[in-house]
Amino acid sequence: MYAGAFVSGRNSKRGPEPVRVENACPAIIDRETFNKVQEQLETRRLELEYLLSDTKVELADMKTVAGYVADLRNLLNESSLSERKSFVRSFVKEVKVTGDEVLLTYTIPMLPKGITEEKLPVLSIVQYGGR
């Protein structure tokens, strides 16, 4: 529409090809400007894809990881059941059980590059039902 063309059915995954009608409405910008901006957008998209593909994760040494695991173990051992459940729910997105197999989908929170520590307030835990 920006350049005056009307396209219908572009997002259809099945069915007939999209219908394109040139000059169906007044153009907001001329075709040359439209094409130039589309090229700039495509160039920027490719640059961002390249930058993201080049991102590397630095792994911590075994001593650091062991320290984190020990801290986490102590925290979970001292926590109530509802606190443990809240902790697990904070990164587990989905659990699928099929027969004898379990598929666990999760995310691991990672700090942005160059930041080694982040201090955030702890959210209060709200318990529903029970005593």
Q: Give residue-wise pLDDT tens across range 78-112.
A: 988 888 888 888 888 888 888 888 888 888 766 66
Q: How far is residue 123's CA from residue 30's CA, in Å, rounded to a whole number?
A: 52
pLDDT at 44: 93
pLDDT of 56 above 80: no
Provide the whole-model pTM.
0.34
* Residue 63: DSSP 8-state: H
Q: Give residue-wise pLDDT tens across range 66-84.
A: 888 888 888 888 988 888 8
Q: Which residues are CB-neighbours of 129 under 8 A, at least 6 positions away?
A: none
Q: How far is residue 6's CA from residue 55's CA, in Å, rounded to a whole number?
A: 39
H or E element that contains 14: none
Average pLDDT (26-35) is: 85
